[in-house]
Amino acid sequence: MKAYIFPGQGAQFSGMGKDVFVTGTKAKELFQAADDLLGFSLSKIMFEGTEEELRETKVTQPAIFLHSVVRYLTVSPQDAGLVAGHSLGEFSALVANGTLQFEDGLKLVSQRANAMQKACELKPGTMAAVLGLADEIVEEVCSSIKEEIVVAANYNCPGQLVISGTVEGIHLAAEKLKTAGAKRVLVLQVGGAFHSPLMAPARDDLKKAIENTQFNVPKCPVIQNVNAAASTDTQVIRQSLIDQLTGPVRWTQSVQAMVNAGATEFLECGPGKVLQGLVKKISPNKESYSV
């Protein structure tokens, strides 16, 4: 069984999407529809923008979503048995399995990005990748810090867990994690503390947007970030998307769940090859490649 996987924020690069744009009329129509819906030329920024322009959350998230979905709809055989996405990528996955229409998915991603940007401005935060420590030790260190907000945010693969929180909290955790034996703790160049309680101000905006969006019965299950569980229940899918904003991305557990469900191949749809690399570390005996 094929599992299609979709990347999240951080996979963007200048020139992204050009290769998909030239594949035919359908791809061009989707890029134009995105520009019209958003009210600015997202495609121009994707094709010609600087790395700094592409790092803006309000641009990054729609750009990765657009690139991923167009690739799936115009290039792939569309024969998914399972779908999953890393953070933002979950919205791309829900278009792939028919839960969301393309336009509705893009609107939600844009609203999510704007809400997250506002939350970042209200309370600055950051994230850091912790390498070479067991998840349990990282969780214990985060829990031991009471004076600041620090939580485990992205369970990317064994030995790689991203933490999220206040700037002071992340620096305090970094020192403790190094003492606990971490090989490296790398503060990431991100706009805020994603997948942490600091995103709570964005939750209400996203909740309203999701509640006002049509969700269809999926063609195949989606493995969702917050619980690494398969679902075809639209109400469960809605709630998990809302919870994901302040909850963790359980990618290690999600890949394991897909393997347990019978996935034999993982096809990454979107910019970059980050997820392929993570799959190889989580389940090295499974094939993973780009669409």
Burial of 51 (0-12, 13-18, 19+ CB in 10 A): exposed
| Spans of all domains in the chain | 2-121+197-290, 124-187
Among 45-49, 186-190, 197-201, the least confident range: 186-190
pLDDT of residue 169: 97
pLDDT over 90 (residue 189) = no
pLDDT of residue 118: 93
Among 49-53, 166-170, 231-235, the least confident range: 49-53
β-sheet bridge partners, residue 162: 129, 154
pLDDT over 90 (residue 156) = yes
pLDDT mean over 88-98: 98
Distance separating alpha carbons of residues 108 and 90, to the nearest angstrom: 12
Check if 195 is active-site. yes
Options 68, 87, 92, 164, the catalytic residue: 87
pLDDT mean over 117-140: 95
- Tell me the pLDDT tens digit for each residue of 39-89: 999 999 999 999 889 988 889 999 999 999 999 999 888 899 999 999 999
Options 67, 68, 92, 195, the catalytic residue: 195
pLDDT of residue 243: 97
pLDDT over 90 (residue 191) = no
**CA dist 144 to 139, 153, 172, 176, 177, Å?**
9, 16, 11, 10, 11
Determine contact, residues 83/223, Cβ cutoff 8 Å.
Answer: yes
2-121+197-290 and 124-187 agree in CATH topology:
no
CATH of 124-187, one of 1.20.1260.10, 3.30.420.40, 3.40.630.30, 3.30.70.250: 3.30.70.250
Check if 76 is active-site. no
Proportion of the chain above pLDDT 70, given as a percent: 100
Mean per-residue pLDDT over the chain, rounded: 95
Q: Would you place residue 237 in the very low, low, confident or very high pLDDT band (cuts 50, 70, 90)? A: very high
pLDDT of residue 76: 85
Architecture of domain 2-121+197-290: 3-Layer(aba) Sandwich (3.40)
- Tell me the pLDDT tens digit for each residue of 99-110: 999 999 999 999
Answer yes or no: pTM beyond 0.85: yes
Distance separating alpha carbons of residues 175 and 167, to the nearest angstrom: 13
